[in-house]
Amino acid sequence: MKRLKIAIQKSGRLHEASLQMLAKAGIRVDNGNDRLKVAVKNFPIEILYLRNGDIPHYLADGTIDAAIIGENVLIEQDLQQSIVQRLNFSKCRLSIAIPNELTYNGIKSLEGKKIATSYPKTVHNFLTQKNIKAELHQLNGSVEIAPNMGMADAIVDIVSTGNTLFKNNLKEVEQVLTSEAVLSISPKLSPKLQDIVEKLLFRLRAVLQAKNTKYILLNAPNDKVPLIINDLPGMKSPTVLPLAEKGWSSIHSVIHEETFWEVIDQLKKKGAEGILICPIEKMVL
């Protein structure tokens, strides 16, 4: 049986989150005894645990068919065209940071400075767009220590919470790009595997749709129903069911997470009562 070879980080911030995403999509991965390659029993894929920095090369040459990887890593390797789905986890940003005691007067402050980073191509492209000439020093780890050791005037590194910068007496002054986990497909993917990719995307998108929405149930007087359903478009349109109490209806629909509280406020003003919000495990459109 043909299997899609998909890579995830062997270790690091994307490792557990990637496995959790696959699990929500009904793909059970048994790691066994620290194996680096695992054939999934209930879906035609094979998981390979690889070093983060190696994954783009394996994608480019077709050694692996797909990967769950940080968008920033693909951008550094100029492989962002291979992204087929953003996965809405492990969000971060690539940012410029300088020592707290230094004054930052905009991007021109970096002219002629030494900058340490693990993302030299991305930083070079960013500075070129800004017409800034700086001296880049590539480091593969512990970038934050570079200014304290006199190796650099600034750094460019991945920032999630900012705690690491704070601990190293650094402050974030400029954002280069934002990033999140993505599903990437090899440009050399065999057409015979495309059907498996589509099935995987179908499952992942069902999980993502559910994550971003809530199921809502409420009661309302019948004369208020037309006003209320204007705020509840749902997947096609809200479901309206009569209650045992005459003159009242139950309305069922779906609302988006980002507009949740605004919608609830509007519904209450328009006469909604007994509002119940439920999580959605999967949503198939």
CB-based contact 236:229 (threshold 8 Å): no
Residues 199, 72, single domain; the answer is: yes
Query: Where residue 81 sits, what CATH number does that domain have?
Result: 3.40.190.10
Residue 285 lies in a domain: no
Residues 259, 272, single domain; the answer is: yes
Q: What is the mean pLDDT of residues 90-109?
A: 94
User: Which residue shows structure tokens 């400075």?
Assistant: 113
- 242-271 per-residue burial string, b: 16 or more CB within 10 A, e: under 16: eeeeeebbbbbbbbeeeeeeebbebbeebe
Structure tokens at 137: 């020093």
Residues 164, 190, single domain; the answer is: no
Alpha-carbon distance 159 to 151, whole Å?
20
Residues 147, 204, single domain; the answer is: no
**Per-residue pLDDT tens for 193-202?**
999 999 999 9
Residues 64, 12, single domain; the answer is: yes
Amino acid at residue number 134: A
CB-based contact 91:216 (threshold 8 Å): no
pLDDT at 212: 83
pLDDT at 33: 54
> At residue 4, does pLDDT exceed 80?
yes
> Which of 285, 280, 284 lies closest to 212, judged by CA?
280
Q: Provide the number of structural domains found in the chain.
A: 3
Number of residues written out for the chain: 285
Alpha-carbon distance 168 to 172, whole Å?
12
Determine how β-strand 66-70 pairs with β-strand 4-9. parallel
How are strands ordered across the β-sheet holding 4-9? 37-39, 45-50, 4-9, 66-70, 181-185, 83-86
pLDDT at 219: 95
Query: Where residue 233 sits, what CATH number does that domain have?
Result: 3.30.70.120
Residues 51, 116, single domain; the answer is: no
Residue 284 lies in a domain: no
Residue 171 lies in a domain: yes
Domain that holds residue 104: 92-179
pLDDT at 34: 67
pLDDT at 258: 79
Residues 138, 154, single domain; the answer is: yes
> At residue 164, does pLDDT exceed 60?
yes
Q: What is the DSSP string of 173-203?
A: EEEEEEE-EEEEE-TT--GGGHHHHHHHHHH
**Per-residue pLDDT tens for 220-276?**
999 999 989 887 866 678 899 999 999 999 999 988 877 888 888 888 999 999 999
**Per-residue pLDDT tens for 138-154?**
998 889 999 988 899 99
Average confidence score pLDDT of the chain: 91
pLDDT at 53: 86
Residues 11, 113, single domain; the answer is: no
> Which of 200, 223, 107 lies closest to 156, judged by CA?
107
**Per-residue pLDDT tens for 23-71?**
999 998 876 556 788 889 899 999 999 998 899 999 999 999 999 999 9
pLDDT at 235: 65
User: Which residue shows structure tokens 């209930």?
Assistant: 42
pLDDT at 234: 61
Domain boundary (161, 194, 210) is at: 210
Q: What is the mean pLDDT of residues 167-181?
A: 95
> Which of 186, 173, 217 lies closest to 74, judged by CA?
186
Residues 12, 85, single domain; the answer is: yes
Residues 162, 115, single domain; the answer is: yes
pLDDT at 187: 93
CA 189 to chain centre: 23
CB-based contact 176:238 (threshold 8 Å): no
- pTM, 2 dp: 0.82
Residues 205, 252, single domain; the answer is: no
Residue 25 lies in a domain: yes
